[in-house]
């Protein structure tokens, strides 16, 4: 089964607006995992925006290298979270055309990767908010109590 999704350029632009603090200039969104992690291309290669870790990295020199990696069980586990997507589907969750799976509460706020915490959310809203959360929390020392988080519209 293929564990990727595609969205319109407008949806990618709105979703990635919450990630403007990362060096995304020159990167073009191509597709996502079922959990909204974004695969981006550039002349240098293929990048992975990890919405759980809150970073973007150059991971593959070519599309072929990316496809080979995603064809492996390890690549599907690491980049697509395929076992969690399968578990969510077995739990009865299904995605509409503009939706991705998400974790509530988000792991960045202490949520677990338990299948019971997986929800279905709008792609743009989910990914935009994840970027805003990571930006606000990235420089805090571990264990810092979170008093207030501000979320802006896309």
pLDDT at 138: 82
Asked whether residue 39 is domain-assigned, the answer is yes
Q: Is residue 153 very low, low, confident or very high in pLDDT (cuts 50, 70, 90)?
A: low
Asked whether residue 21 is domain-assigned, the answer is yes
Task: Express each pLDDT in 57-93 by its tens digit.
Answer: 999 999 999 999 999 999 999 999 999 999 999 999 9
Asked whether residue 67 is domain-assigned, the answer is yes
What is the Cα–Cα distance from 32 to 73, expressed in whole angstroms? Answer: 17
Asked whether residue 93 is domain-assigned, the answer is yes
Kindly report the average pLDDT of the chain as a whole number. 93
Asked whether residue 120 is domain-assigned, the answer is yes
The fraction of the chain above a pLDDT of 70, given in percent, is 92
DSSP assignment string, 31-49: EEETT--EEEEETTEEEEE
**How many separate domains does the chain show?**
1
Q: Is residue 148 very low, low, confident or very high in pLDDT (cuts 50, 70, 90)?
A: low
Q: How many degrees, rounded to 5, is the angle at CA 79 between CA 78 and CA 81?
A: 70
């Amino acid at each position: 089964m293929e564990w990727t999704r595609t969205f319109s350029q407008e949806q990618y632009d709105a979703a990635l607006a919450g990630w403007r603090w990362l060096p995304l200039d020159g990167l073009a969104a191509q597709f996502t995992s079922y959990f909204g992690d974004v695969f981006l291309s550039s002349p240098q290669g293929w990048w992975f925006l990890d919405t759980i870790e809150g970073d973007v990295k150059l991971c593959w020199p070519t599309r072929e290298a990316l496809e080979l990696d995603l064809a492996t069980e390890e690549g599907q586990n690491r980049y697509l979270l395929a076992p969690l997507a399968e578990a969510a589907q077995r739990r009865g969750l299904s995605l509409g055309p503009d939706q991705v799976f998400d974790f509530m509460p988000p792991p960045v706020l202490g949520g677990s990767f338990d299948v019971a915490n997986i929800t279905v959310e709008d792609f743009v809203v989910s990914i935009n908010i994840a970027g805003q959360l990571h930006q606000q929390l990235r420089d805090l020392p571990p264990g810092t109590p979170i008093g207030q988080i501000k979320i802006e519209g896309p």
